[in-house]
C-alpha cells in the first residue's frame, strides 16, 4: 500500500520540480539575458548619460524653468514636481477654480518669459498629466518655445526648430499614441549643440 502511494506521488513531485526549474529559474534567466543583450537601454531604465554621469531617464520628466531650455508639462506629484515616488494627477475638475488658477499662472509664466508669445498655447503646456511624470510634450508645445530658447541662447530660431524636429517621435508602429518630443533629450542636445552664448564685456 505504501509502495503504491509513493509511486502515485512521484509524478506529481517530479512535475513540480521540473516546472519550478523551467518557470522559476530557466525562463526568468532567459528573459534577463535577452533583454540585456537586445534591449539593454530599456532594461536599465532608459537612462541618459553624459561622461559616465546619469542625467535622467527618458521615461520620467524633469522640471526645467530657465529660458534656455524646453519646458515640459506641469506636475502635481506632491512634495516636489516629477516625484517618482508619488505619481499622481491633480484630480481637479474643469470647473474647479484651482485648475483655472494653475492654468492662468502657467500662461503668465510662459508669456512673461517670451513677450512674442501672443497666440494660442497648446493645452499640454498648461495642464498636468495624469501621472505627473510625463517626459514628453506635443511637437506643437515644443515649437511655441522656439523663440524664447533661441533668444536665451543667442541662437537662430531656425537652428532651434531644426534641432527639435530631429527629436520628434512618430506614432508607435504608425498607429499607437501621438507624435511627441522628449523634453530631456532635447535639452541635453541643446546644451551640446547650441550652448548659451556669453557676450563679451
What whole-number distance in Å separates Cα of residue 149 and Cα of residue 114?
A: 9
Q: What is the DSSP letter of 137?
A: E
SS3 (DSSP) at 85: coil
Arithmetic mean of pLDDT over the chain:
87
**Residue 106 has which C-alpha cell?**
502657467
Amino acid 43: pLDDT = 65
At residue 123, φ and ψ (nearest 5 deg) are: -60, -30
pLDDT bracket for residue 200 (50, 70, 90): very low
**Residue spans per domain, the chain:** 1-44, 47-193
Q: Where are the alpha helices (DSSP H) in the chain?
A: 2-21, 27-38, 40-43, 97-113, 139-143, 146-153, 157-165, 183-193
**Would the pLDDT of 78 be above 70?**
yes
Amino acid 46: pLDDT = 75
pTM listed for this prediction: 0.77
Amino acid 8: pLDDT = 74
Count CB neighbours of 119 within 10 A: 6
Amino acid at each position: 500500500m505504501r509502495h503504491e502511494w509513493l509511486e502515485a506521488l512521484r509524478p506529481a513531485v517530479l512535475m513540480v520540480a521540473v516546472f519550478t526549474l523551467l518557470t522559476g529559474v530557466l525562463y526568468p534567466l532567459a528573459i534577463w539575458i535577452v533583454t540585456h543583450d537586445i534591449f539593454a537601454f530599456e532594461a536599465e531604465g532608459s537612462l541618459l548619460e553624459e561622461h559616465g554621469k546619469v542625467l535622467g531617464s527618458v521615461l520620467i520628466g524633469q522640471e526645467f524653468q530657465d529660458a534656455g531650455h524646453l519646458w515640459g508639462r506641469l506636475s502635481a506629484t506632491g512634495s516636489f514636481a516629477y516625484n517618482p515616488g508619488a505619481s499622481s494627477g491633480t484630480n481637479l475638475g474643469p470647473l474647479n477654480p484651482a485648475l483655472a488658477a494653475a492654468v492662468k499662472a502657467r500662461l503668465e509664466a510662459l508669456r512673461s518669459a517670451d513677450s512674442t508669445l501672443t497666440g494660442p498655447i497648446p493645452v499640454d503646456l498648461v495642464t498636468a498629466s495624469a501621472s505627473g511624470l510625463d517626459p514628453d510634450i506635443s511637437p506643437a508645445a515644443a515649437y511655441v518655445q522656439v523663440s524664447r530658447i533661441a533668444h536665451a541662447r543667442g541662437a537662430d530660431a531656425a537652428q532651434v526648430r531644426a534641432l527639435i524636429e530631429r527629436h520628434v517621435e512618430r506614432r508607435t508602429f504608425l498607429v499607437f499614441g501621438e507624435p511627441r518630443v522628449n523634453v530631456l533629450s532635447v535639452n541635453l542636445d541643446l546644451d551640446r549643440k547650441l550652448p548659451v552664448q556669453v557676450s563679451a564685456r
